[in-house]
Structure 1
Amino acid sequence: MLLLFLKERLTWIGFHLFIIVVVNVLFSLDVGLMSISITYVNICMVVSFTVFLLWRYIVEVGQLKDFLGNVDGQLDDVHSKNLDLSPFQDAYFAKIEDVFYVKDMELNKAKVQLQEYTDELLAWVHEVKAPLTSINLMLSQIEDLALRRKLEHEWLRLHLLVDQQLHQTRLASIEKDNYMTEMELRTVVYKEIRAMQPWCLEKGIGFDVAELSEMVMTDGKWLAFIVRQILSNAIKYSPTNADIVIFTEVDVTGAILLHIQDEGIGIRKEDLPRIFQKSYTGTAGRESAQSTGMGLYLAHNVALKIGIRISVQSEAGEGSIFTLRFPLQNEYVKLTGR
């Protein structure tokens, strides 16, 4: 703060030094002043100016702290607080209050518009889900097995896109829409595998699933969404007649790890740091029109909200292993704030 004050009052200091130089020149040129000690005069001037500068430092720093404190706060009426501000600071404060008021109005308007858009989008998604359910029921009546599987695959793609949009819209308010409970991993994983069955049958994808009897503390709905995104990526980028391996282990800290391993095209080294970024499709995504770059981004953000850490090991052409690390008991307590 002292350096800031000295920098702000640099013109004062420069003017005072100029006066000292002028006085010294006058003392050296005017013979009438020869009897007066120039050293004594210089000391008096420097000491008086130093005292004046110190006084202004104490006063102005106090005013600055009051000013900044109210800017950082709620910007209540400066006059009602009886703050000891200078006329310039008072004018600055009034202008800042006006600017903040206008910006608050604009922000509130934007929030209302965003909430209206979110509500409309959620309503649209729920409206779309109704005909999707009806179409799914009609598909079971098609006798041509090959045609039915193709239609079921396309229906599943559409269903996953709608589901992704639904969870993307709800992501901002996930704290209000989660329910942590103890549950068995097998329940979630098997349900998601069954949902992917039409797609897997068309590509000949098989699953090698471990017992998955471990109990974890998590939100079942959001965990299912994370597993769904990882499984859909594994199926999408796996070759035909490949296998996806799902197994668990316990790390050195005692945390449960869920691994999902595929035999797909893998992820290039330069793409790995960015796969969880929004809309990033990577090298593989540029070769597939189906890639949106949103699945892993949403899965990663959901995982952070419920305390799960997602990591990936992959090399181009050698498949990928996605790992979900579930929180320990003490980490869960910090997450919930209990």
Structure 2
Amino acid sequence: MSITEYLKDRLSAYMIYLVSLAVALIFMQAFHIRTQCIVIVYVILLLGGAIAECWTFFRKKSFYDKLNYCLDSLDKKYLLAEMTEAPDFFDGRFLYEVLRQSDKAMCEHIAEYRRENLEFREYIEMWVHEVKLPVASLQLMCHNDGSNRYSEQLKRIDDYIENVLYYARSRNAEKDYIIKNASLKRIFGETAMKNRSEIQERNISLSAEGLDVEVMTDAKWLAFIFGQLMGNSIKYEADEIKVYAEDFDDKTVLHFRDNGIGISEADLPYIFEKSFTGENGRTHTKSTGMGLYIVKMLCTKLGHSVQAESVQGEYTEITIVFGKDKLHNIQ
């Protein structure tokens, strides 16, 4: 709040004040009041008015400057009312009360939204667990009957259901994971076993090197990430998948590479965006565009970074970087 802005805002009041002084002067002259008395009265009125305006200006300036500073420095602007002290002038107190009431209303609205969101998430998780049971039963029946006619479609259904579950959980992932040392070799081995039938059926060559290292992560979430990457390699016609890790002093870098159809240069910057399907998703197989988006989101929440390199028609390589410290977030 500057003195220029304050004077401009008060200009109409000053004009009224000056007109009032002029009218008072006319009346005093009409009653033949001595000039010395008029001068003294005007000096007192002008001096008193100037002092009152200065006091009002600096009182308001202190409050509004603090308010503006808090607004600029806060990341969460809605906490402005909590960081501001009540002023000692009427319009400031009115503004302060408006901020507090609006903040209270917003907090109540957010609390209601969170309750509804939690209820919806709990329902989705319950539904997923319930629907996975008949799907697992159908898969077992197909296996016992020696029929693979429906197995692939049931596997796809199960994968989509799992995507729904992990997407719902990933919105509040910090409540659902535990960061600790986990073996890359064990997690990748479990993922390979889970996809063994499809790998063998499609005659895909699978190799792993340098995975005898442990990283700070959540094994369950990382297994889901591996499953998504392997599922994409299988889906997009890879006949060779190579996974290897490089261990450095400050980080471990995991490379997940396949020789599938690859990703076009135009699509590559957007593959981690929500619902992005790209050229491959439209021409080769139907895709929801959610798999890599969830992978990116989970890696971010776990403190890992993920990048992609690809040449269309040659290869796709996904790189995940794990920090040595569980609180270290690789940028």
SS in 2 for 1:179: coil
Aligned twin of 2:112: 109
SS in 1 for 2:10: helix
Correspondence list, 1:179-190, <5 A: 179-190=178-189
Q: Aligned pairs, how many?
A: 303
Following the alignment from structure 1 to structure 2, what is the Cα–Cα distance between the partners of residues 13 and 221?
68
SS in 2 for 1:238: coil
1:312 to 278, 296, 308: 308
Q: Contact 1:67–1:89 at 8 Å: present in 2 too?
A: no
Following the alignment from structure 1 to structure 2, what is the Cα–Cα distance between the partners of residues 57 and 264?
71
Distance 1:307 1:73, change over 3 A: closer
1:196, distance to aligned residue in structure 2 (A): 1.4
Correspondence list, 1:194-273, <5 A: 194-239=193-238, 242-250=239-247, 254-273=250-269
Aligned twin of 1:61: 61
1:54, distance to aligned residue in structure 2 (A): 4.5
Distance 1:249 1:104, change over 3 A: closer
Aligned twin of 1:40: none
**1:42-65 CA-partner distances (Å, limit 9, x unpaired):** xxxx99998766533321122335
Following the alignment from structure 1 to structure 2, what is the Cα–Cα distance between the partners of residues 270 and 289?
18
Distance 1:257 1:11, change over 3 A: closer
**1:158-182 CA-partner distances (Å, limit 9, x unpaired):** 1111111111111122212222222
TM-score normalised over the length of structure 1 = 0.76
Q: Which runs of 5+ in 1 are unaligned?
A: 24-45
1:274 to 254, 270, 277: 270
Is 1:10 aligned with 2:1? no
Correspondence list, 1:61-210, <5 A: 61-64=61-64, 73=79, 75=81, 83-143=86-146, 147-148=147-148, 150-210=149-209
Aligned twin of 1:287: 283
Distance 1:94 1:129, change over 3 A: same
The AA in structure 1 aligned to 2:304 is I
**1:138-168 CA-partner distances (Å, limit 9, x unpaired):** 122123xxx41x4222222111111111111
Following the alignment from structure 2 to structure 1, what is the Cα–Cα distance between the partners of residues 120 and 64?
42
**1:88-144 CA-partner distances (Å, limit 9, x unpaired):** 23333333444334333332222222111111111100101211222222122123x
**1:206-229 CA-partner distances (Å, limit 9, x unpaired):** 212225212222211111111111
1:67, distance to aligned residue in structure 2 (A): 6.1
Q: Contact 1:310–1:325 at 8 Å: present in 2 too?
A: yes
Q: Contact 1:153–1:202 at 8 Å: present in 2 too?
A: no
RMSD over aligned Cα, in angstroms? 3.7
SS in 2 for 1:217: strand
SS in 1 for 2:171: helix
The AA in structure 1 aligned to 2:319 is T
Aligned twin of 1:35: none
Q: Which moved more, 1:255-264 or 1:99-108?
A: 99-108
SS in 1 for 2:246: strand
Q: Contact 2:206–2:241 at 8 Å: present in 1 too?
A: yes
Following the alignment from structure 2 to structure 1, what is the Cα–Cα distance between the partners of residues 87 and 109?
31
TM-score normalised over the length of structure 2 = 0.78
